[in-house]
Amino acid sequence: MNGTLVLVLATVLFLAIVVSAVVVVVRNRRAHRADAGFESEAGWYLDPADETLQRYWDGSAWTEYVEPATPETEMPR
């Protein structure tokens, strides 16, 4: 019985680690995809991570500056 409990706990821990790793990979791919080939001019655009916000694109990278999105805010092209 005690060996079975250890096996179950080890399996649960392993699965938790695998799921966490998959989540990290998916989030990194989404962030990379959002920036890949992005060559719009500097300006305020919908935040790729949260479309209720707009984030400032400096022409080469997203900045830390955010504010609530407005109806006329667009995704960059």
Token pair for 71: 């109806």
The percentage of residues in the chain with a pLDDT greater than 90, rounded to a whole number, is 16
Which token pair is 77?
């092209």
Residue with tokens 């001019």: 41
pLDDT at 38: 58
Burial of 73 (0-12, 13-18, 19+ CB in 10 A): middle
What average pLDDT does the segment 40-53 reach?
88
pTM strictly above 0.85: no
pLDDT in tens, 22-41: 777 767 666 655 555 556 78
pLDDT at 6 > cutoff 80? yes
Cα torsion 20, 26, 29, 30 to 10°: value is -120
pLDDT of residue 68: 93
